[in-house]
Structure 1
Amino acid sequence: MGDQPTSQEFHLPLAQITQTPLDCSLRYLDFSGDYARLGLEYHGAAPFEDTTSCALAPPAREAAAVTAPWCVTMLAPAARLAQVQQLLTFFAGHGWAVSAVDTLAQRRERTVIRFQLDAELEFAAAKHTCLQLAEKLDVDLVLQPGSSQRVPALAGFDMDSTLIDAEVIDELAKITGIGEQVAAITEAAMRGELDFRQSFRKRMALLRGFSERRLAEIATQLPLKDGADKLLGGLRALGCKTAILSGGFTYFADYLRRERLPVDFIHANQLEFEHGALTGGVIEPIVDGMRKRELLQQMAEEQGLELERVIAVGDGANDIPMLNLGALGIAIHPKPKVRLEAPQSIERFGLDAALYLFGLSDQQIENLI
């Protein structure tokens, strides 16, 4: 019995949270008005004395409305009090006043806390300082305008290494015995070291003669990225249109839409066949980074949407143009260059974690799915 932690909710001013040297597991933090509700699990002495306390509370069904100009969302695999203390100290040091705090997820393996900030800040510089702190704290810190904390009307997705946990062109190359050669070209292109169009032509030429029958077999074996079905299913339930905008192939994107994921539109590269095998040629136009951006903007215009209702999700250098188009540009498990240049990034969780950036709590997400 002595090994069992004490579970307790403390009621205290937000500033007082940073004033204890004791660290422990953090379950939730909610703040509005004068006092915060802080749920902790600890061994030994209580981290705070002379404060009102009670048993841990169940999670709120819905997050509060966002009224501040900026939000920072902390996504932690197993949140600690010390992490929140350092984050609050960071905000105070930059003069970013915290006006409200909501806990969107309070699972053992996932704590998501959103901080609303009344602050004047320069986004690019503030984002980079948040990324640096995130590395130190071993969490994701996502900075976004408060106005973007809503469900989008249109979402554009990269496919390879974003919706599926593979680079299809690399998988084809492995089967033909040139996997390392093609994978090296792909990796250089995704890091932004090679022009995508040039690298695409070079890789396709190496795949000449690959049979269409084998392509069909590979399509059924492509693994989905963690959380892909939950995110796209949630967006469908919320009335958001989704599109695959891929430097990969329509052959596989069509299979995903037909068999695996709720997708509304597809724009990708077409494979050229002759006598049941790939010719190694390329059918123009190639869907590169700028083409993805143009297509996403075109779809928004066709649907009469302002770009504030549009988001994009990707992982590679050729996704950067579309990631910087709309209200949110979310890089999932991104390459280093993409992490620095994308407006938002999530590294420690799957695709479904993007739902928190729309202002949804776990309870709301569960009701959707």
Structure 2
Amino acid sequence: MRRLLNKLGTFAMGVETKAQEFHLPLAQITQSRFDCSVRYLTYSGGHALLGLEYDNTAPFLDAVSCQLNLPSVIPSDVQSPWCLTFLSPAATLSQLQRLLNFCAEQHWHIDVIDTLAHRHECTVIRFQFSAELEFSPARFACLQLAEVIGADLVLQEGTSQRVPALAGFDMDSTLIDAEVIDELAKITGIGDQVAAITAAAMRGELDFRDSFKKRMALLKGFSEQRLAEIAKQLPLKDGAQNLLHCLRKLGCKTVILSGGFTYFANFLQRERLAVDLIYANELEFAEGALTGEVIEPIVDGMRKRLLLGETAKEMGVPLEKVVAVGDGANDIPMLNLGALGIAIHPKPKVRREAPQAITLFGLDAALYLFGLNDQQIAELGQPS
């Protein structure tokens, strides 16, 4: 309704919004002086199809144009050595121009372009390209450009653009939109004190094991009954249910690897999320309340990596078919283990060090990095 009212408003002011597909060489896209909304871009064999929405003046007066023909076909097979995925909540021609100029400056030869999502609130365009590059500096350059243009840019090897066989997930602030230990502390009146320790640990400023012991000691006496009430109230991360549901339908095994607690991970597995395995910390109780002690071994960053590797080995899954998803500093070791290490809404240190990062979208945006488009994702969401 809002979109309709906006469109009516533009007519009232004498400005007509038009939607057109332009057929033109890829290099010509960078030459327009007019900005507008991008709906999609496809490119192969030297020929680009660019879908735009604009007011009055067409950005390309000398290009063949026709009505929008939104792409819904299966994306092209990935043949190139590298992929760069552009994810924008409001894609514009100026963003696209900056990205194309950036690729040219880096001497990245674009082979194929597919549009994986073309909703108004989410446009996802995947660039396959050939280049000899060093991953770390190239990834950092992409992060810098992403900040400038207000989008996510995800660099990955072309061979990683496929559905994984095993996916490992952090829980707190990754699958759920909360840090459980902080929520417990708020109830006991020491929320600020514990949250400060948690934040420092997630930023990598404190050793996770030491910070975990300190926080647990402060929670001594917390009742088990209240834990059950809190478990039902934990908010899921946007897109978590959809991502795990789709991965299960695709045959990918999933595992929680958490510095949080099995108590809550088991509840999520039982009631809300399609998870296959759980590794987390055990809570110790005495007379129905927390003792404040920890049960070894503590699941810290290195143990997460170890457990993910051991799980892959036991399942016979090679590391090139393993991905990991997390948000904090203690996730960095496992994020650097397999084919992809996706930091979701990460802290600054994690964004700098994780191989891949998604900051502007929900957890299920990871499906685009596995080579799926919106049509395929929607089909996975349908009942079998």
TM-score range, shorter chain: over 0.9
**Within 2, Cα distance between the matches of 1:8 and 1:31?**
16
Q: Secondary structure of 2:293's partner?
A: coil
Tell me, yes or no, if the aligned pair for 2:71 and 2:115 is still in contact at 8 Å: yes
Q: Secondary structure of 1:60's partner?
A: coil
**Within 2, Cα distance between the matches of 1:289 and 1:119?**
33
2:153 aligned with 1:141? yes
2:288 aligned with 1:279? no
Tell me, yes or no, if the aligned pair for 1:330 and 1:342 is still in contact at 8 Å: yes
Q: Residue 89 of structure 1: CA displacement?
A: 0.3
Q: Secondary structure of 1:210's partner?
A: coil
2:243 aligned with 1:217? no
**Within 2, Cα distance between the matches of 1:61 and 1:308?**
27
Question: Which of the numbers 300, 319, 338 marks the counterpart of 1:307?
Answer: 319
**Within 1, Cα distance between the matches of 2:266 and 2:144?**
39
Q: Residue 40 of structure 1: CA displacement?
A: 0.5
Residues 82-126 of structure 1 show CA distances to partners (whole Å, capped at 9, x for unaligned) of: 100010000001100111100000001000000011111100000
Tell me, yes or no, if the aligned pair for 1:100 and 1:117 is still in contact at 8 Å: yes
Equivalent runs, 1:19-38 vs 2, <5 Å: 19-38=31-50
Tell me, yes or no, if the aligned pair for 1:13 and 1:34 is still in contact at 8 Å: yes
2:75 aligned with 1:63? yes
**Within 2, Cα distance between the matches of 1:7 and 1:105?**
17
Q: Residue 148 of structure 1: CA displacement?
A: 0.2
Residue 193 of structure 2 is matched in structure 1 by: 181
Residue 163 of structure 1 is matched in structure 2 by: 175
Q: Secondary structure of 2:283's partner?
A: coil
Question: Which of the numbers 287, 310, 313 marks the counterpart of 1:298?
Answer: 310
Q: Secondary structure of 1:220's partner?
A: helix
Residues 216-260 of structure 1 show CA distances to partners (whole Å, capped at 9, x for unaligned) of: 000000000000001001101100000000000000000000000
Residue 196 of structure 1 is matched in structure 2 by: 208
Tell me, yes or no, if the aligned pair for 2:40 and 2:70 is still in contact at 8 Å: no
Residue 5 of structure 2 is matched in structure 1 by: none
- One-letter amino acid of the structure 1 residue matched with residue 69 of structure 2: A
Q: Residue 156 of structure 1: CA displacement?
A: 0.2
Q: CA RMSD in A?
A: 0.6
**Within 1, Cα distance between the matches of 2:193 and 2:58?**
58
- One-letter amino acid of the structure 2 residue matched with residue 82 of structure 1: S
Residue 87 of structure 1 is matched in structure 2 by: 99
**Within 2, Cα distance between the matches of 1:105 and 1:118?**
23
**Structure 1 stretches lacking a partner, 5+ long:** none
Tell me, yes or no, if the aligned pair for 1:150 and 1:358 is still in contact at 8 Å: yes
Residue 122 of structure 1 is matched in structure 2 by: 134
Question: Which of the numbers 343, 348, 354 marks the counterpart of 2:360?
Answer: 348
Residue 86 of structure 2 is matched in structure 1 by: 74
Equivalent runs, 1:235-246 vs 2, <5 Å: 235-246=247-258
Question: Which of the numbers 308, 327, 330 marks the counterpart of 2:342?
Answer: 330
Tell me, yes or no, if the aligned pair for 1:10 and 1:52 is still in contact at 8 Å: yes
Residues 52-90 of structure 1 show CA distances to partners (whole Å, capped at 9, x for unaligned) of: 111100222311000110000000001000100010000
- One-letter amino acid of the structure 1 residue matched with residue 267 of structure 2: Y
**Within 1, Cα distance between the matches of 2:328 and 2:73?**
35
Question: Which of the numbers 229, 242, 254 marks the counterpart of 2:241?
Answer: 229
- Normalised by the length of structure 1, the TM-score is 0.99
Tell me, yes or no, if the aligned pair for 2:16 and 2:56 is still in contact at 8 Å: no
Q: Residue 338 of structure 1: CA displacement?
A: 0.1
Residue 184 of structure 2 is matched in structure 1 by: 172
Question: Which of the numbers 114, 119, 122 marks the counterpart of 1:102?
Answer: 114
Q: Which stretch of the first structure deviates more once superposed, 326-335 or 48-57?
A: 48-57
Residue 333 of structure 2 is matched in structure 1 by: 321
2:376 aligned with 1:367? no
Q: Residue 319 of structure 1: CA displacement?
A: 0.1
**Structure 2 stretches lacking a partner, 5+ long:** 1-10
Percent of counterpart pairs with the same letter? 71
Tell me, yes or no, if the aligned pair for 1:61 and 1:364 is still in contact at 8 Å: no
- One-letter amino acid of the structure 2 residue matched with residue 150 of structure 1: R
Residues 16-62 of structure 1 show CA distances to partners (whole Å, capped at 9, x for unaligned) of: 11011111110000000021000001112211122211110022231
**Within 1, Cα distance between the matches of 2:252 and 2:209?**
30
**Within 2, Cα distance between the matches of 1:51 and 1:171?**
57
- One-letter amino acid of the structure 2 residue matched with residue 92 of structure 1: A
Q: Secondary structure of 2:112's partner?
A: strand
**Within 2, Cα distance between the matches of 1:60 and 1:30?**
11
Q: Residue 201 of structure 1: CA displacement?
A: 0.4
Q: Which stretch of the first structure deviates more once superposed, 74-83 or 45-54?
A: 45-54
